[in-house]
Chain A
């Protein structure tokens, strides 16, 4: 009998924790939506600015080019389980795509996390990004791999 009471008390506590996490999740999602709207506004203004900049430079006859040489480059890096191979596409001097070609020895759980860095690296147009906590080694491998490819594109 005492065991059953013990079990139910713990079950109730456990359910309370789950309920708390749920309400947290709802709040966090609302906040994220607002943040995304904010960022979209900022991005709209910034892209407008860039357009105007480009037109001014065009009027003045200055070439608008990115930092890298056009082409497709491959790079290798050392991740958690083995090597990570990536392929970069550079168009008009800008890195337009980063693809992971192989990560065969990587733990899929960690690699999935590290892949979130691809978007950040495209934004930054470099591999100078922070690692994903909890998937540090896979992140380092991916960053190293992209860095290797970028090195061939200068």
Chain B
């Protein structure tokens, strides 16, 4: 009798509540994402530049009527497009060095806001404003493509924040003629501190391109709307892209597959078709990491 009661007490004191288990899983998956981002930052920081140079090369070639050569830039671009077509914007959420740097800056900013300025909630641009601002990156993409197609891109080359960033990441000095780029990069860094993924949401032309691509629904995240609590906005408020996953796939192109919504949902309503088959989303994330790392290296990153 006594033994049974003791066993029961021990079992109950060690059992964690569902919320505590979820919190623990959230921290593990967050740590995993951070490690993967760090891995790609250290091993292939130039991936985004190579890919977008491919885009510029493509349209410059069209301008000159030149034969399209399968050079390294074009290969990188094709790889990124194919990967995103199959697996969604995993690149944006995990492998892009610029995005990772932005996440780091925002992480520091959030820490400062909470601990030093004692704010309860980290600053976020209101959803309605974000909806408009997110369209700017498409304009940016069109402008750059237009400049290349008419052969005049070289006049604005000094404004590329990516060129400046990729030199700094390699520990090299800033090249001549990039003063505008440096100033813009500082402004972008400020933006990243204010709003999570500021550049990715509002300015990134590569992101705009990815958002326009068809994406196989197999690995993209979906929400079980029937199970959602009325007026619950937890996924929306945790999403860097201010998305509330909808059944008709509206604005699904903005999703950078970071998984924050999935980790935050108290009812576990968010999952991908892949996740439903294989139970754990972590397996999907690790698989994508390996595939991207191997194929990316083969594509020349």
Write the residues of chain A forming the contact surface with B, with a CB cutoff of 8 angstroms: 2-4, 6-11, 13-14, 21, 24-25, 28-29, 31-32, 80-81, 107-110, 112-113, 133-134, 137
Contacts and interface: CB of A to CB of B under 8 A. Distances in A.
By DSSP majority rule, is chain A's interface helix, strand, loop, or mixed?
helix
Kindly state the interface size class of chain B when it binds its partner: 20 to 34
Contacts of A113: 71-73
A15 to B, nearest CB: 9
B241 to A, nearest CB: 17
Given A28-B65, A28-B67, A134-B73, 4 more contacts: A14-B214, A32-B66, A112-B71, A133-B57
Nearest to A24: B62
Interface in B47-82: 50, 53, 56-58, 60-62, 65-68, 71-73, 76
B245 to A, nearest CB: 10
B68 A109 contact: no
A23 to B, nearest CB: 12
23 contacts: A2-B249, A3-B217, A3-B248, A6-B252, A7-B215, A7-B216, A8-B214, A10-B212, A21-B58, A28-B65, A29-B67, A32-B66, A32-B67, A81-B172, A108-B300, A109-B50, A112-B71, A113-B73, A133-B57, A133-B60, A133-B154, A134-B53, A134-B57
Contacts of A25: 67-68
Nearest to B76: A109
B65 A21 contact: no
